[in-house]
Structures are given as C-alpha cells and as structure tokens.
Amino acid sequence: MTSTTSTESTTGRDRGGLVLVAMVVVVAMTFIDMTIVSIAAPDIQRGLGLSSTGLQWVVSGYLVSLAAFFALGGRLADVIGHRTMVVVGTLVFIGASVACGLTAEGTGADVWIVGFRIVQGAGAALLFPAALAVVLHAFPTEQRGSAVARFFAVTGGLTSIGPFVGAYLLEISWRWIFLVNVPVAIVGLVLTFVAGVDNQRRREPIDLVGAALIAVGAGAVVAGLQQSSTWGWSDLRTLACLVGGVVVLGIFLEVERSRPDPLIRVRFFENRTFAMQNLILFFASAAFIPLFFFASIYAQVSLGWTASNTGLYLLTFFAGFAPGAVIGGKWLDRGQARRAAVWGGVLGAAGFFAWAARLPGLTENTQWPWIVVAGLGVGLVIGSANTDAINQVPAENFGEATGVTQTVRNLGAAVGLAVVGTVFASRLRTRLEDSLAGFGIPKAQADSIAASLHGSGGGSASKSFLAKAGPKADQVLAAVRLDFADATQLVFQGLGIAMAVVAVLAVLGLTRGPHLPDPAPVGTVGASDA
C-alpha cells in the first residue's frame, strides 16, 4: 500500500510539473508583449508612418483591453472550461499577433494595428485567468503556493526579456516582435494536450450585463490613466474617462449584488484576507510594472546603453524576484502569508530607496545589490498574495477569482504608471529648463526634449537635436543624462513608498497563521469535461 501511494504521489507531482510548464509557455508571449512593443515603438512608427497618438495607442490599447476583459475571462474559464479557454485565448492572441505583424503601410495602418492590439489584449485576458486556474487545480492546497510562485517567478522574469529579445528581432524587422508569438503558442498548445490538462467547468449563465459594465468601467479608468500624461490631468477627456469609469464601476458593483449568477461575486470581498491581499496586490503592482518602463529608459538615456544591455540590466531585478517568489510561496504553504507580505514590503521599500539614491551616480556597479533586494521584496509579495487571495474561494471559482486579482493588478499598474509618470515629467521638465538655460537653449526646446525623452522610449527626438548642438553637444548630453537620472530617482522613491504601504497593510490587515477560506460553498460544481 505504501509503495502504491508513493508511486501515485510521484505521478501526481510529475503531472503537476508538466501542467505548470505548459501553462508557463502559453502565457509567456503575453508577458513578453508587455515590454517588447515599447522597445519597438520608434521602428513601428517609422515603418507605418503612425501619428504620435496612434503610436501611444499601440502600447495603451493592449493594456486597456486587458483591464476591460480580465473579469470576463475569469468567469468564462469557470463556466466554459479552463482548458477550452486556454486554447481559445491562445488562438485569439496569436491571430491578433499575426494581424499586427502583417499590418500594411499607408492609410488605415494605425486603425488596423491599434484594433488588433486591442484584440490581442482581449486574448491575453481570456487566456491568463484560465491558465492560472489550471495551475491551481493541478496542485493540492499545501503545494499550491510553491507552484504558483514558480509560475510567477518565470513569467515575471519574461517581462524583462522583452527588451532583450526585441533588440535582436528588430535587426530583422519590427514585424517579428509579433510574429514570434506563433511558434511559442504552438509549443504551448502541444504541451497543454500532452499534459492532459483537465477541462474543469461549471454550468451557469454568463452575466453579460455585468461583463459590459466592468469592461466599460475598468477600460475607461485605465484609458484615462494611460493618457493622463498626454492629455493632462485637467483635460476634459481625462476627467471624463476617470469619473465616468468610476461611476460605471459603482453601478457594476450594485448590479452584481442583486444578480443570482453575477460575473463577480462581490461577497468574496467580505472575506478579510481576500480583500486585503487584493489591496496589497494593487500597491505591489503599482511598483512592479512602472519599474520596467522607467528603468529601461534610464538605462538607455542616462547610461547610454543599447536595448539588449538594458534587458540584462532588468534581469538583475529578477535575480532577486525569482528566489523571492519561491520563498514567498513556501512561506504561504506553511501558513505564513503575512510574513511574506510584511518582509516583501520592507525589503522592496528598502531596495527601491537605496537603488534610487544611487541612480544619479550613473554607475550600475553601485546599484545592482539594491536592484536584487528590490526584486526580492516584490517577489515575496506578488505570487503569495495572489495565491492567498484565490485560496479563499471554492475551487470551482478559481477562474473568477483570478479575473478579480488580475483586474486589480492591472488597475494598480495603471495608477502607478500615471502617478509616477506625472511626477517624472514635471521634475524632468523643471530640471531641463534650468540646466539647458545655461547653454542658451530656450524653455520651449527644453520642454520638447523632456517630452521626447518621456514619450519615445529612447529619446530619438532629443538625440536628433543634440546632434546639431555643435561643440557643446557632449556637455548638453551630460546635463540631459543627469537630469533624467534625477527625475528617475524621484520615481523610484515613489515605488519605494508603494512597497512600504504593502508592509503597513500586511501588518494591520493580515492575521498570523493559515488563512482559511470561508466554509460556505458558492454555487454548484459542474462535471469535469476531460
């Protein structure tokens, strides 16, 4: 009997490991796409003749679509089937990727590529909750924290691969940053069927009214936050998106309370742990995602590095993030979710503040130990908080709960980008006006340089201007690099504050010991469709 039990346990672990690998591969392309397109943005603009607005929406459209459809994706995964939605989401994503890569030059190029970037985001929103739910189902509760930690450790690291891979693909064509998703998706789908992923599902109606409300509300809020740096916070369009989105989300919550089969069971938030871990995820994401954008631009502008070297710079963060995620997962499995959040917040805050203090030195050797510490802190929080929240709901609602946590993470990232982006732009403009005035450069041109540095990723407009700066070009470039480092320093201090908030929330809002789910079941579980 002991031998049989041991064999079954080993077989279960092996199958779970294969399922984990399969799901990591299928979602890999969605994480890489978060950063790879930003690196390729100038090439896409030149190749298609896009307007500045069109280019902005090539990047923003994907993120807005993610926010709009995550909740629906999670619910569809539970109702239609986890394996089914993994396949459907993957096919939608690669179909849109091919369409983006084949965008024809000329009239209508911006509408085409922005439209399919939105479809691409919708595919990712359908795919990710289902994939994470598959991982959760493949492992028992006592192993789930470690399994999901490995999932987030690898997929999170892939975010930094974007600039690195993009730099090489751009030597062929910007179109390959989209077309490369096809072979990755094929491998992922093959592994999904080889792993024998179950099609867990429950037979219930889909709340289309709720889906429409949260799509409009969350999409509008993220769009307003994304465009705030371009439109301005006082612009009517920004205010309309933010205020209108919040109002619609309020209506969504009221509607969901009265529906027998809501898109999101609002009563999940009556569970203190579920609510608090989502709040922790919000602030951790407000630090995590903006990091990539600002660290990437700092490396290219202030340090003068290439996109491929910038990718290696970002990978330093994951030298801390990956082990942090694994440790946080093990602590969660031992009933120590509070410990992971507290230490994650403290180490993340310390790492970001110490990293920020060294940015103006323009010497990466003094930064890397603190980059690792910041990564360790964020890694401790992200996976453990996400898993602890989902553990609070019945297994048949894993997809739905994942849709909630990912919507919260997306909103946190959007808020973080908007807030620190505004602070960054204001500080950079002020510093450049002061320092460039000494070279006889008027305020209007200084503002133009600041705008190009903030918006283009590589500061192509400023480099063109500096090429004509004559004998003072080196001095002007040195001033720009220092001013940019100073503005980035303020941003990283803001990221440190966000992680400090995580620590405070964990101390005040989480209890010691295992966080057990409410015993009352939610709904009826349908049969597993193998």
Residues 296, 406: one domain?
yes
pLDDT over 70 percentage in the chain: 87
pLDDT above 50 (res 4): no
Mean pLDDT of 1-13: 41
Residues 369, 244: one domain?
no
Q: Whole-angstrom Cα distance, residue 415 to residue 426?
A: 17
Q: Whole-angstrom Cα distance, residue 167 to residue 423?
A: 29
Assess if residue 352 is contained within a domain: yes
**Domain end among 235, 262, 289:** 262
Taking phi over 0 as left and psi of -120 to 50 as alpha, with beta for the rest, 441 belongs to: beta
Q: How many structural domains comprise the chain?
A: 3
Apex 314 CA angle, 491 and 404, nearest 5: 70
| Coil vs helix vs strand at 150 | helix
Tell which wins on pLDDT, 27 or 440: 27
Residues 282, 415: one domain?
yes
Containing H/E element for 388?
helix 368-390
Mean pLDDT of 269-290: 93
pLDDT above 80 (res 167): no
Residues 151, 197: one domain?
yes
Assess if residue 385 is contained within a domain: yes
Report the half-sphere exposure of 182 (CA within 13 A, side-chain side). 12
Residues 258, 156: one domain?
no
| Coil vs helix vs strand at 230 | helix
Residues 236, 193: one domain?
no
Assess if residue 318 is contained within a domain: yes
Residues 373, 325: one domain?
yes
**At residue 361, what is the residue type?**
G
| Coil vs helix vs strand at 319 | helix
Question: At 2, is the pLDDT very low, low, confident or very high (cuts 50, 70, 90)?
Answer: very low
Assess if residue 84 is contained within a domain: yes
Residues 240, 335: one domain?
no
Q: Are 125 and 212 in contact (CB under 8 A)?
A: no
Assess if residue 528 is contained within a domain: no
Apex 383 CA angle, 276 and 335, nearest 5: 70
- Give the range of the structural domain holding residue 67, as residue numbers without chain letter: 12-204
Apex 416 CA angle, 222 and 20, nearest 5: 80
Tell which wins on pLDDT, 3 or 27: 27
Q: Are 446 and 466 in contact (CB under 8 A)?
A: no
**Domain end among 154, 182, 204:** 204
pLDDT (0 to 100) of residue 213: 93
Residues 184, 54: one domain?
yes
Assess if residue 480 is contained within a domain: yes
Residues 148, 235: one domain?
no
Question: At 472, is the pLDDT very low, low, confident or very high (cuts 50, 70, 90)?
Answer: low
Assess if residue 525 is contained within a domain: no
Q: What is the b/e burial string over 403-427, where b = at least 16 CB atoms within 10 angstroms of the residue's CB? A: bbbbbbbbbbbbbbbbbbbeebbeb
What are the CA-CA distances from residue 430 to residues 55, 441, 487, 492 (Å)?
26, 14, 10, 18
Q: Which residue has the tokens 């910007």?
A: 174
pLDDT above 80 (res 175): yes
DSSP 173: -
DSSP 334: T
Residues 345, 456: one domain?
yes
Q: What is the CA radius of gyration of the chain?
A: 23
What are the CA-CA distances from residue 294 to residues 46, 368, 386, 484 (Å)?
23, 16, 25, 10
Assess if residue 75 is contained within a domain: yes
Q: What is the pLDDT of residues 497-529, one digit of tens each?
A: 999 999 999 999 998 767 766 544 444 333 333
Residues 299, 251: one domain?
no
**Domain end among 204, 237, 252:** 204
Q: Residue 498: which of 327, 346, 306 has the closest Cα?
A: 346
pLDDT (0 to 100) of residue 241: 93
Q: Whole-angstrom Cα distance, residue 143 to residue 19?
A: 14
Least-confidence region, from 17-21, 188-192, 362-366: 362-366
What are residue 190's phi and psi, to 5 degrees?
-60, -45
What CATH code is carried by the domain that includes residue 147?
A: 1.20.1250.20
139, exposed or middle or buried, with CB in 10 Å at 0-12, 13-18, 19+?
buried
Taking phi over 0 as left and psi of -120 to 50 as alpha, with beta for the rest, 295 belongs to: alpha
Contacts of 86 (CB under 8 A, 6+ apart): 23, 26, 127, 130, 131, 134, 192, 197
pLDDT above 60 (res 447): yes
